[in-house]
Amino acid sequence: MLWVGVHLPLLSLESFSAGLTQPTQQPIVLVDAHHIVSADAASQALGVSVGMKRATALALAPHLLLGQADAWRDAQALQAVAHAALAFTPMVCLAEPDGVLLEVQASLRYFGGLAALVRKLRDTLAPFGHRLQIVSAPTVQGAALLARLHDGLHCADRPALQRALEDAPLEVLATAAPQADVMLGMGLRRVGDLRQLPRPGLARRFGQALLDEMDRAFGDRPDPREPIVLPPTFRSGLELFARADTTEQLLHGAQMLLLRLVAWLSAQHAFVTRFRLLMKHEARWRDGNTAPTTPLDVALAEPSRDVAHMLVLLRERLAHVQMAAPTLELAIESDDIVRRPPPNAELFPTPQSERAGIARLIERLQARLGREQVQRLQPVADHRPERATQVMPADPLMKGTSAGGPPPGPITRPLWLLPEPMALQQRHDHPFLNGRAVQLLAGPERIEAGWWDGDLVERDYFIGQTADGVLVWVFLNHPQHLPSSPTQGWFLHGRFA
């Protein structure tokens, strides 16, 4: 077996930063029980350190941005990383509180070797904005321990793993950390120092758990792990550091939630068709008629897991939402998914990819203007051209002629019709437009219809060409039942593009 260990040393700070409504240059620290539990590089440069009291840290750096440590928030961020890792292997387990482990031996050939797999893994996790330390080792516990110390270390076999672990400081062992001072007083500084001592004595002094942890790391003891299981539906939340009352502030947090949604989809080779954004409002800004949460449903014309596309749709929809109160917490949930092969990376556009592009354009226009404002022409079973189509809302999912159907015939009718047919001058029974003769190229196409509803038409249609080369659609109106009708003669009804 070959395990890849992914350690996120700044997970708590990064998960907190995801909830900021806008980027900040302030030093950031996290507090728990009035003590600093995590500090970024900027705050450490000012003298702030982990374990320091909150008041002392503020005395050193009054402009610190203080956040509350939250294990649930960290777990949400770590779960998204684990879901993204499932795209590489089904054997993914958590190394809580800030690591993920992947068994990749069976995946190496597919990804082109370990180095290529690790590069792809880094690229996949890059959008989450986490600092990563990635190592590989023959044992799962060994990979978990070494990932906390190194980045880019790859132990190909047991001897290499043994050398790396023996050089590791004792603090890397969870069972040794509480007794680190006692061990230091005994002259023990590295894991290799412990390995040289008699095992019975170590067990009596420090407990059997210490030996068990070392044995699992070195591969001398079985270490079975349970892989994570994807939830059947997706839901992820994000608490905002400050209340959000603008579209841009909401999108800053929603983008991270969409990244988590895409990771969940990629883990099961699925695409989403609908998701819901939930905006939880601040209670003290709500009146009695304001709901505590505002839902916003986003339906996609084509199943997708493109974060940029979903973010564009969300931006358009949010621009039309009137917020009843500022938002303090966001969540995205979805269970409407489909499983299909990944899109083909074709060199040249195909009919399928062109339809997808048109569908996305219609989808975006509908999100911006409203569904009823984006319209299309629907054919109607009526021979009269002015009644042969009706306007209705555009459907991005509408397909054209199937591949197995008959090929489309030549275009004999124009797309654009005049609101009302325009009478043309005529000389010697020939139509003239703007004082110049219209050359008749094709026709006639006789249409006699409408006797059943009182709107009878009796026309002979021709495709004509004007003197400047424009193709037009003209007809000769000759009602047989009304020979004296003033509507007899030539008319212009449409133009070809």
Per-residue pLDDT reduced to its tens digit, 451-486: 888 788 888 999 999 988 899 999 998 765 444 445
Which of these, 52, 137, 65, lies nearest to 99 by C-alpha position?
Answer: 137
Q: What is the b/e burial string over 425-436, where b = at least 16 CB atoms within 10 angstroms of the residue's CB?
A: eeeeeebebeee
DSSP classification of residue 187:
T
Structure tokens at 137: 């080792």
Domain count, the chain: 3
Kindly state whether residue 450 falls inside one of the protein's structural domains.
yes
Higher-confidence residue: 110 or 370? 110
DSSP assignment, residue 154?
B
- Tell me the mean pLDDT in the region 183-208: 91
Residue 181 located in a structural domain: yes
b/e burial code for range 451-465 (CB count within 10 A of at least 16 → b): eeeeeebbbbbbbbb
End-to-end CA distance of the chain: 65
172 domain residue, yes or no: yes
Could you give the CA distance from residue 94 to residue 228 in angstroms, rounded to a whole number?
A: 7
Residue 353 CB contacts under 8 Å (≥ 6 apart), including other chains:
343, 344, 346
Q: 130 and 259 share a domain? A: no
Tokens coding 63? 């402009």
CA 391 – CA 380 distance, rounded (Å): 10
Helix H or strand E segment including 199: helix 199-206
Pair (71, 211) in one structural domain: yes
Q: What is the mean pLDDT of residues 154-164?
A: 94
190 contacts: CB under 8 Å, gap ≥ 6: 166, 167, 168, 169, 170
More confident: 404 or 107: 107
Q: Looking at residue 8, what is its pLDDT?
A: 96
Domain boundary among 305, 339, 373: 339
Say what the pLDDT of residue 484 is: 43
Collect contacts of 294-301 with beta carbons under 8 A, ≥24 apart.
Answer: 294/321, 294/323, 294/324, 294/327, 296/321, 298/274, 298/367, 299/273, 299/274, 300/272, 300/273, 300/274, 300/363, 301/359, 301/360, 301/362, 301/363, 301/396, 301/397
Question: Does 364 fall in a domain?
Answer: no
Does one domain contain both 181 and 239? no
* pLDDT tens column, 279-293: 998 776 555 666 788
Is residue 297 classed as helix, strand or coil in its secondary structure?
A: strand
Residue 128 has pLDDT above 70, yes or no: yes
Residue 344 lies in a domain: no
Label the pairing between strands 416-423 and 489-495: antiparallel
Does any domain span residue 94?
Answer: yes
CATH number for 265: 3.30.1490.100
Q: What is the reported pLDDT for 357?
A: 66
The count of other CB atoms within 10 Å of the CB of residue 265 is 23
Query: Residue 69 corresponds to which amino acid?
Result: A
Are 185 and 161 in a shared domain? yes
The predicted pLDDT at position 386 comes to 83
Looking at the fold, whether 91 and 180 belong to one and the same domain comes out as yes
C-beta pairs of 298-302 under 8 Å, 24+ apart in sequence: 298/274, 298/367, 299/273, 299/274, 300/272, 300/273, 300/274, 300/363, 301/359, 301/360, 301/362, 301/363, 301/396, 301/397, 302/356, 302/359, 302/360, 302/363, 302/396, 302/397
**What CA–CA distance (Å, rounded) separates 93 from 391?**
54
One domain, residues 255 and 187: no
The confidence score (pLDDT) of residue 483 equals 47
Calculate mean pLDDT across residues 240-258: 88
For residue 348, the model assigns a pLDDT of 45
Residue 317: is its pLDDT beyond 90?
no
Q: What pLDDT is recorded for position 340?
A: 74
21 confidence band (pLDDT: 50, 70, 90): confident
What is the rounded distance in angstroms from the CA atom of residue 38 to the CA atom of residue 154? Answer: 28
Please write the tens of the pLDDT for every residue from 40-83: 999 999 999 999 999 999 999 999 999 999 999 999 999 999 99
Q: Which runs of consecutive H residues, i.e. helices, occur in 281-376? A: 307-318, 351-369
Residue 406 binned pLDDT confidence (cut-offs 50, 70, 90): very low
Pairwise pLDDT comparison (391 vs 73), residue with the higher score:
73
Percent of the chain residues topping a pLDDT of 70: 89
Residue at a domain's end among 339, 373, 408: 339
Q: Is the pLDDT of residue 401 over 50?
A: no
d(CA 463, CA 440): 6
Is it the case that residue 126 has pLDDT exceeding 60?
yes
Is the pLDDT reported for residue 222 higher than 70? yes
Any domain includes 374? no
**Structure confidence at residue 482 (pLDDT):** 47
Residue 29 CB contacts under 8 Å (≥ 6 apart), including other chains: 36, 38, 39, 40, 43, 48, 57, 64, 65, 66, 67
Same domain, 175 and 252: no
State the average pLDDT for the chain. 86
Q: What is the pTM of this model?
A: 0.73
Token pair for 328: 């303090």
User: Do residues 415 and 497 make contact, with C-beta atoms less than 8 angstroms apart?
Assistant: yes
**Mean pLDDT calculated for residue range 232-241:** 92
Angle between helices 247-267 and 71-85 (to 10 degrees): 50
pLDDT at residue number 71: 94
Neighbouring-strand partners of residue 95? 99
Nearest to 83 by CA among 119, 121, 118: 121
- The band of 344, judged by pLDDT with boundaries at 50, 70 and 90, is low
CA pair distance 326, 422, nearest whole angstrom: 57
User: Can you name the residues that pair with 6 across neighbouring β-strands?
Assistant: 100, 134
Question: Are 214 and 272 found together in one domain?
Answer: no
Mean local confidence (pLDDT), 147-153:
95
Report the distance separating Cα 93 and Cα 3, nearest Å. Answer: 11
Residues 130 and 246 in one domain: no
Indicate if 313 and 268 belong to the same structural domain. yes
Please report the pLDDT score of residue 17 as a whole number. Answer: 92
Q: Are 197 and 187 in contact (CB under 8 A)?
A: no
Q: Of 291, 313, 339, which one is at a domain's C-terminal end? A: 339
Contact 67, 54 (CB under 8 A): no
User: Which residues span the domain enclosing 435?
Assistant: 416-495
Q: Which of 129, 360, 431 shows the shortest CA–CA distance to 260?
A: 129
105 shares a domain with 204: yes
Same domain, 13 and 148: yes
Query: Can you read off the two tokens belonging to residue 288?
Result: 């009695």
Q: How far apart are CA 110 and CA 106, in angstroms?
A: 8
